[in-house]
Structure 1
Amino acid sequence: MKRQTFFKMLLMAGGAILLLPQRLSAKSSNKKPKLTPKQLARTPATKPGEVPNFASGMLDSDMSGLGPDGKPTGQRATFTGTSKANAKAEEAMAHKMKLTPEEQAILDGRDGEEKAKLMKILVQFGNIFGAEQLVDLGGAPHSNMFIGAGYMASMIKMLDQCARAGLKSYAPYTVNPRPYDVYNVQNNPKDMTLIYEGYPLQKELDYVHVRLGAPDLNYRTCACYLDEVGNAPEPGTYVAWAESSAVNYGNSVLGIRTNRNGAGMDLLQAMLGKAPKFGLMTDEGRQAKWLVEIKTSKEPDWGVIGTAIGRKVVEDIPYITGLDQYFEGGKVTPDNLHLLKAMGSATASSGAVGLYHVEGVTPDAKKLGRKLLVEGYKTYIIDDEEQKRIVDSFPNLWPEEDGDPTAAFIGCPHNTYHEVIKWGKMVTEALDKAGKKEAAIPVYMFMPNKVRDRAIKEYGELISRMKRAGMHATNMCSVSYAGMKGFSERVRGVTNSAKTRNYSSIRYFPDEILVKIIVTGKIPQGT
């Protein structure tokens, strides 16, 4: 069976399992819901057996889909971390997962109607992917349900009904950043109008999160594992995370065990405190099919090699060598974790990588070494020539290709404390050297509020200088900003984030070039 055919069947199967009767059902997927925020909470129940229009979305990790060749473009994969090119959907549908007496009692309605329906969805979900059992979750979940757009109405309604029934996450959980910031970024009438028209259900979604167990908005971030935010479960912990870059970092650097959950499936598992054990949650599902050898003559461009790896392995797991020299003693610290954050998020956005191993650095690799490689693994070498080939392949997607840049975007995934201070010093020192007080273009620094607050407390003078120079701290999502209606026609953006480049019209430049662009407002000749 061709990969593209399998994924189409998989999505159909996903829709079939979500036949939620009574209160958890939504209108047929043939028509998009047209609910106002006030209507959302009081829409009457519909007949049993209708397919909710959010069903297929629960199989997506982030926001993308399949390319013309049938391969995942970055976000729609199979949650397993390995290729399912030869899988058959009809065989998966015949699988039956074993339940404990406790789990069966929940399914039979002992703990209420809503919880029984959630368990039914989870069991069917596990059956599709061949899970043998459910496992208890630990740590804390992370959700990528962050966009209050109209097309999310039925999903938000389902979660609202769960909240009204008194269901909560088994632990307080973190959530991706909001898709906008009308205080520091889109603080103009045109952008604000587009935002309020495009995200009419944001308040309803935020209200759902509060009741299900999410903390306040200061903890919103795609980089939930940062010390300032604190969602970093112990190695080996089963968790339910969504957001491709967080899943990627969590599995790889923290050593947790989570699949690439789709929006909604993360919270469903959180409310039950259980997840089907398959894919990246199993020992066999964490084995590497690729040996990737980094042989650049100097420190690589982390986002570029991440893009190269993602394009090559797609959703398979790579075992990467040649990077341990950049982590003293093989330790990932607050001062260097941004390197793996940049590389990993690029593997997840240019491909669909949910886990990678770095020899001598990441937990699984330290424990098992090259025993993680499967028999007959493939080898991919990234040297200077290959790195340059990848950079040269990045297209210029600006409508006005020769135009001057109008804004810089730094922090996707969200900046660490170390990155904020580093960029503050680099830009202000470059401005001083050029005899300037203000950057030639606005610089948007994306970070959690918790990181911003720490930076203000410990480097108040530098943060004040950054603000005067035109560097704006914001806790929103840069990709959401770049996805606004008419963005590419209005903004010629530049970034050092390969993930942002993979998802938008914003052009990619390495740090040293980006600093020059910020100071001069021009792209250097020959770049």
Structure 2
Amino acid sequence: MQLTKEQQAILDGEKGETLAKVMKTLVMYGDAFEAEKLVPITSKYNHLVTSFGLKVMAPVYDLMQKILDAGVCSEQKFSVDPRPLDKNVPANFLQNLVFNKFMYTKQDYYENQLESLGLMDKDAFTCTCYMDEVGNRPHKDEVLSWAESSAVVYANSVLGARCNRNSGILDIMGSIVGYVPYFGLLTDEGRKASWIIKINTTKKPEAQLLGSAIGMKVMEDVPYVIGLDKWLGTELNDTTCAYLKDFGAATASNGAVGLYHIANLTPEAVEQGESLILDGARVYTIDDAELERVKNSYPVIWKNPDAAPKLCFVGCPHLSLEQLKDWTIKIENELRVNNREKVKIPTVFTAAPGVLTAFEKTDYAPRLKKTGVITSYICPLMYMNNPLCKSMPVITSSNKLRTYSSARYYTDDEILKAITGGDRA
């Protein structure tokens, strides 16, 4: 790897031992992927994936403290993934005991470290940091040092920023020295598509299912999707961006996609068209039957597959303001059809603190509360990490949550019927 004089000086320890170790880590990371150089991070803010104060993560806290003790801080302010705890989310006595006494015992300590290191503000905890209400929205071609998979794929694909799928802690190291290795999705060649995805469905495909199907097929490769604009249109409005948020999260968790292109819709596809497709790209055609096949392939790992759901999570990744409003209307209408006033299954909608604050200022918030739905800022996955939750029948419309936990997947329409007393999930 070729380093500039400034980068070499940091590596040689001219700015202290701590920064030298951080630089060495990034150089070793780049060498592993045959990066030719380090390039400056150009985004205003960073985003960190590690937000949870698990007791077993002692090495992370030790590392953070060494950085702070050396008087080092992040070159950028940053947002962080969601908090794992919220007393408003249903949990029994034993679950709360495990959460507070055994699992997340270092939460307050770690959050204090994050604030000292450069947290944007005390409520900058969300996986959807790019929401307007949060304020960490990178611009096209800006170079990032992020690690959260659903945020990385959104920033690359919908916003046209440039970021590799980094691991946790590497995200903050890039931010500390202000550089990241130049390889993969930072390069023009690395953003070319090696898969052509043809959408031949008879209706708008479920975002989570479509993303899951593509992710499991292409894994870490870049797909170029043709035919989805028929259902989404060619404008990146709130509704379309919310769809792409959920779609991308599924490609990133059910596979390892860090970038996708949607013909006639996403920035690079609009600008460069099919010149983004590599010679010899493989083709994957998705129709109604293929989506049904994918859905039916999901394992049910509940102890009792026929158990009645005891909890429902919607919002992994976090919901947008538009989605909260849409869900409010749909739940009200469906409850009315079923002659009910409140949802029959305890239901939690998760969103960024900033989004929830904006939602509370609308007339939708009291209406949603009246239905019995709980809103929260937590990470559903961190909630489901509690070992006592494994035996709990939880349903979700998130493919990411389904992949990483015992939660059972249903489409949005199926979730709506289940929680409002229609057809039971």
On whether the aligned pair clears a TM of 0.5, the verdict is yes
Tell me, in whole angstroms, the C-alpha distance in 1 between the residues paired with 2:42 and 2:97.
41
- Look up the match of 1:497: 398
C-alpha contact (below 8 Å) 1:404/1:521 kept by paired residues: no
Counterpart of 2:321 (choices 407, 410, 417) is 417
Q: Structure 2, unaligned stretches of length 5 or more?
A: none
Distance 1:307 1:269, change over 3 A: same
C-alpha contact (below 8 Å) 1:143/1:263 kept by paired residues: yes
For residues 296-335 of structure 1, the aligned pairs below 5 Å read 296-328=201-233, 330-335=234-239
- Look up the match of 2:68: 163
Quote how far apart the aligned CAs of 1:488 are: 2.4
Structure 1 residue matching 2:6: 3-state secondary structure: helix
Tell me, in whole angstroms, the C-alpha distance in 1 between the residues paired with 2:232 and 2:333.
27
Counterpart of 1:189 (choices 68, 93, 99) is 93
How high is the sequence identity, in percent, across the aligned residues?
38
Q: Are 2:79 and 1:174 aligned?
A: yes
Q: Are 2:369 and 1:467 aligned?
A: yes
Q: How many residues align?
A: 423
Q: Are 2:381 and 1:479 aligned?
A: yes
C-alpha contact (below 8 Å) 1:441/1:470 kept by paired residues: no
TM norm structure 1:
0.78
- Look up the match of 2:2: 98
The structure whose RCO (Cα within 8 Å, separation 6+) is larger is 2
Cα deviation 1:199-255 (Å, max 9, x = unaligned): 222222211210111123422100111111121111111110111111111111111
Quote how far apart the aligned CAs of 1:368 are: 1.3
Tell me, in whole angstroms, the C-alpha distance in 1 between the residues paired with 2:264 and 2:65.
45
For residues 277-426 of structure 1, the aligned pairs below 5 Å read 277-328=182-233, 330-426=234-330
Runs of 4+ in 1 over 4 A off after TM superposition: none
Task: Please say which of residues 507-516 and 473-482 is displaced more in the overlay.
Answer: 507-516
Structure 2 residue matching 1:410: 3-state secondary structure: strand
- Look up the match of 1:274: 179
- Look up the match of 1:515: 416
Tell me, in whole angstroms, the C-alpha distance in 1 between the residues paired with 2:237 and 2:114.
31
Tell me, in whole angstroms, the C-alpha distance in 2 between the residues paired with 1:186 and 1:443.
9
Tell me, in whole angstroms, the C-alpha distance in 2 between the residues paired with 1:207 and 1:187.
26
C-alpha contact (below 8 Å) 2:51/2:125 kept by paired residues: no
Cα deviation 1:60-103 (Å, max 9, x = unaligned): xxxxxxxxxxxxxxxxxxxxxxxxxxxxxxxxxxxxx1111111
- Look up the match of 1:213: 118
- Give 1 or 2: higher strand fraction: 2
Tell me, in whole angstroms, the C-alpha distance in 2 between the residues paired with 1:521 and 1:118.
55
C-alpha contact (below 8 Å) 1:238/1:281 kept by paired residues: yes
Quote how far apart the aligned CAs of 1:522 are: 5.7
- Look up the match of 2:11: 107
Cα deviation 1:23-78 (Å, max 9, x = unaligned): xxxxxxxxxxxxxxxxxxxxxxxxxxxxxxxxxxxxxxxxxxxxxxxxxxxxxxxx
C-alpha contact (below 8 Å) 2:95/2:388 kept by paired residues: no
C-alpha contact (below 8 Å) 2:203/2:231 kept by paired residues: no
TM norm structure 2:
0.96
Q: Structure 1, unaligned stretches of length 5 or more?
A: 1-96
Structure 2 residue matching 1:219: 3-state secondary structure: coil
Tell me, in whole angstroms, the C-alpha distance in 2 between the residues paired with 1:502 and 1:346.
9
Residue identity matched to 2:78? Y
C-alpha contact (below 8 Å) 2:338/2:422 kept by paired residues: no
- What RMSD, in angstroms, separates the aligned Cα atoms of the two structures? 1.4
Quote how far apart the aligned CAs of 1:402 are: 0.9
Quote how far apart the aligned CAs of 1:335 are: 2.7
Residue identity matched to 1:301? E
Tell me, in whole angstroms, the C-alpha distance in 2 between the residues paired with 1:338 and 1:132.
36
Task: Please say which of residues 304-313 and 430-439 is displaced more in the overlay.
Answer: 430-439
